[in-house]
Amino acid sequence: MFKSGFVSIVGRPNVGKSTLMNNVVGEKIAIMSDKPQTTRNTIQAVYTDDESQVVFLDTPGIHKPKNKLGEIMVKAATDAFSNVDLILFVVDSSRKIGPGDRRIMEDLRGSKTPIVLVINKIDQIEDKDELFDIIKMYDDEKMFKEIVPISALKGKNVKTLINVIKEDLEEGPKYFPDYMVTDQPERVLIAELIREKVLHYVDDEVPHGVAVEIERMKARKDKEIIDISAVIYCERDSHKGIIIGKGGRKLKGIGKSARQDIELLLGSQINLQLWVKVKENWRNLQNYINNFGLND
């Protein structure tokens, strides 16, 4: 039985929500900027294993309403909670519980959707008793189904958290293909840029075009270089040959012009690696990619 579901992540800024998502999907998404406050739920990350899929949603817009518009935004964000299977409320164990945390807790209180409290940054706690005190304090609120202390940065206990989430999932479909980890708009743009170059270089020789998947995107720590690897999917072996070209010349040309465009887009030096793979039914995948693209 395959299980799947949607999980909202909430928590005030800097508690480590993005870091947790990066750890959950098992890779660093290079470009990370917090999106402006909107009522829309954006897909933050998709976790997939053999038996389950968890779609993590970012739910911004929870704040004290200052006016009518603010009220509508808060209501939209609160409504969003009733449409998910689980809520993850992330707090920072290295800082005192603040008004921001309290406000979110008040918004969440009474929610019919189960809430898991994630106490992050436990690597910064030296004294175990301190952690017990924090857990006790939150437990006294009687509003959390489960309390999971983690370190998103060190990857500590993240597996446990995933298992806790999985317990709450019901039977459901695999909404997204295995490779899909995020709807980072940059990834969609970069994939589109590469696809455009392929189409340009192969003219009409590959009649049904191609799909491009960004497999990895990671900024180097020491230098201003972003490593990107991407797979160009086509439908037939013969198409693969056409895209690669004699002695790999065509693929080289595609890579060079795509790299130049991506460098302009991201304002950083890029090391681009391209692979060509044959995959039947890629057009379904392309639909998913397009849907993702519209998400932002």
Q: Which of residues 150-209 bind ligand GDP (CB under 6 A)?
A: 151-153
Q: CA-to-CA distance for 160 and 148, rounded, in angstroms?
A: 8
As a whole number of angstroms, the distance between CA 191 and CA 217 comes to 11
> Hunting for tokens 């795509």 — which residue is that?
258
**Can you tell me which residue has the tokens 């008793």?**
129
- Locate 79 and state its tokens: 């409504």
For the bound state, the minimum distance from the C-beta of residue 35 to Mg ion, rounded and expressed in Å, comes to 9
Annotated binding residue 228: no
SS3 24: helix
Nearest to 273 by CA among 189, 222, 212: 212
**Residue among 19 and 41 whose Cβ is closer to ligand GDP:** 19
Residue 12 assigned ligand-binding role = yes
58 is in an annotated binding site: yes
Instruction: Count CB neighbours of 280 within 10 A.
Output: 10
**Binding segment toward ligand GDP, per CB under 6 A, in 49-57, 95-103, 149-157, 212-220:** 149-157
- Comparing CB distances to ligand GDP, the nearer of 116 and 211 is 116
238 among annotated binding-site residues: no
Judged by CB under 5 A, the stretch of 13-21, 49-57, 123-131, 264-272 that binds K ion is 13-21
Helix (H, G, I), strand (E, B) or coil at 50: coil
**What is the contact mask toward K ion in residues 19 to 48, using x (rule: CB under 5 A)?**
-------------x----------------
Instruction: Choose from ligand GDP, K ion, Mg ion, none: what does 98 bind? Cβ within 5-8 Å by kind.
Output: none
Closest to 191 measured CA to CA, from 295, 265, 244, 125: 265
Site string for ligand GDP, 90-129 (x = CB under 6 A): ------------------------------xx-xx-----
Options 7, 10, 15, 242; binder of ligand GDP; rule CB under 6 A: 15
- Determine what percent of the chain falls in helix, strand and coil, rounding each to the nearest 5: 40, 25, 35
Kindly tell me which residue out of 18, 41, 44, 184 binds ligand GDP, with binding defined by CB under 6 A: 18
Question: Helix, strand or coil for residue 255?
Answer: helix
210 marked as part of a ligand binding site: no
Q: How far apart are the first and last CA of the chain?
A: 32
- Report if residue 18 touches Mg ion, rule: CB under 5 A: yes
Task: Identify the helix (H) or strand (E) that includes residue 244.
Answer: helix 237-244
Least separation in angstroms between residue 23's CB and Mg ion is: 13
- Would you say 19 and 153 are in contact if contact means Cβ atoms under 8 Å apart? yes
Residues that bind ligand GDP (CB under 6 A): 11, 13-19, 120-121, 123-124, 151-153
Binding residues: 11-18, 58-62, 120-123
Residues that bind K ion (CB under 5 A): 18, 32
Residues that bind Mg ion (CB under 5 A): 17-18, 34
